[in-house]
Amino acid sequence: MSTSRKLDPYAILWRIPLLVWQGLFFVVPLVFMAAMSFWLVKNYRMEPAFVFDNWAKMLGRGAFWDAYWLTLGRAALAGLLATVIAFPASLFLSFGLGESGRRFALLCLIVPFFTSFLVRAYAWQVILAESGPVNAALGVAGLGPFTMLNSGFGAMVGYLTLVLPLVVIFQTWSLAAIDRSLIEAAGNLGAAPLRVLVSVIIPAAKTGLVLGAVFAFIMTFGDFVSPFYLGGSKPPTLTILIIDTTKSGQQWPRAAVVALAMIATLFAVATAALKAAYGRRG
């Protein structure tokens, strides 16, 4: 872009806020956390040091790698499921509803965030219980009862509750902005609806689709509530391992190792995905 090299007050105004805020209030704690991973714990107190014990210990543990692959797999699955489940709804919101209806629906999807996720997870505990309404309904049809809580399924219900609204919002934002004439043109040229979807709509909405999936992946990866309250820690994810690690008498340095491994993983995944999302666009 033409003005990219000029650095005037206007440009600075937009660039500075992030640097100042995240620099002061995010980078410092992040550095503290990284430093902490080299500290020692003595008498239940953290003491600054520079040793690699914590890293060697955590990365050498089977429990860490079990949790790592489990968390990675679950987050990927949740990102994929959320994307696939949200897509038809986003499609309908974008092309089947008017602008004001769409806006209303999207705002409604933000509302659940205000009702604490803890409260929602607690409600799922009752809904999905063997003695709960879902099994009661299935029982009428002669099915079940199924054990849904304290399993991967329970955790997944929690993950989707957390991320589905957001994924729909991102997808709809992208889909609704697609130039209608493009779709009509494709239709006029005789392309079948499915063909239009695959070769026109999905590529045009790629950014929102990827962004939604990435946020779903990140939020699932770092979620503690779903795997703990609905998954019964069976088996533990990295977030649960972090909490467990601190129970060795203030082993926050070792918990920090787990945290840094999580950040590195998420950052790699997110940058790769976003490059794919924003790459090859005008």
Min separation Cβ 191 and other proteins, Å: 17
Site membership for other proteins, residue 197 (CB under 8 A): no
Site membership for other proteins, residue 53 (CB under 8 A): no
Q: For other proteins, which residue of 49, 76, 202, 263 counts as binding (CB under 8 A)?
A: 263
Quickly list DSSP for 184-225.
HHHHHTT--HHHHIIIIIHHHTHHHHHHHHHHHHHHHHT--H
Q: For other proteins, which residue of 198, 224, 272, 276 counts as binding (CB under 8 A)?
A: 224
Assess contact for 161 and 225: CB atoms under 8 A: no
Site membership for other proteins, residue 137 (CB under 8 A): no
Helix (H/G/I), strand (E/B), else coil: 46: strand
Site membership for other proteins, residue 81 (CB under 8 A): no
Min separation Cβ 113 and other proteins, Å: 3
Dihedral, CA atoms, 155, 160, 161, 167, nearest 10 degrees? 160
d(CA 223, CA 161): 12
d(CA 45, CA 43): 5
Q: Report the 10 Å Cβ neighbour count for 129.
A: 16
100 vs 142, which CB is nearer to other proteins? 100
Site membership for other proteins, residue 78 (CB under 8 A): no
Min separation Cβ 159 and other proteins, Å: 12
Q: Which stretch binds other proteins (CB under 8 A): 48-56, 85-93, 183-191, 195-203?
A: 85-93
Site membership for other proteins, residue 104 (CB under 8 A): yes
d(CA 144, CA 205): 40
Min separation Cβ 264 and other proteins, Å: 9
Site membership for other proteins, residue 209 (CB under 8 A): no
Min separation Cβ 186 and other proteins, Å: 17
Min separation Cβ 189 and other proteins, Å: 20
Quickly list DSSP for 4-27.
TT---HHHHHHHHHHHHHHIIIII
Site membership for other proteins, residue 187 (CB under 8 A): no
